[in-house]
Amino acid sequence: MRNYLWLTSLALALAAGNLHATEAKDDKLAQGMLSKSSIQDMKRQHKVMTQAALSEVGMEARRKLMLSTKDDIYHEMIKSGDINLSQLDQFSKDQFIH
């Protein structure tokens, strides 16, 4: 269990670092679009948030998503049909209102 939490927190830290690094450089944000890698990062963060919902790791994932401008764009792109989600990704997205 301890190894699982450690690996999950490591994955979350890497994903969050990547999110913040690409957010500063991504000029597509001004256009309201995300790159394919940013979309994959958002899907991964939503999965982490869902899988570790009641843990500190899940709460940290939720907090980082709430602070990210990419998350708002991600949800808008889903609503507009620009992003199609698998059933697992849709389940992860629908678990929490954040």
Q: Per-domain residue ranges for the chain?
A: 2-94
pLDDT-based confidence at residue 81 (cuts at 50, 70, 90): confident
> Greater confidence, 6 or 69?
69
Average pLDDT over residues 36-62: 79
Least confident span in 33-42, 48-57, 79-88: 48-57
State yes or no: pLDDT of 23 exceeds 70: no
The CA distances from residue 79 to 4, 30, 39, 72, 84, in Å, are: 33, 18, 14, 11, 9
pLDDT-based confidence at residue 40 (cuts at 50, 70, 90): confident
Note the Cα 59 to chain centre separation in Å.
Answer: 12
> Greater confidence, 92 or 15?
92
Note the Cα 70 to chain centre separation in Å.
Answer: 8
Least confident span in 24-28, 54-58, 81-85: 24-28
Rounded distance between C-alpha atoms, residue 79 and residue 11, angstroms: 27
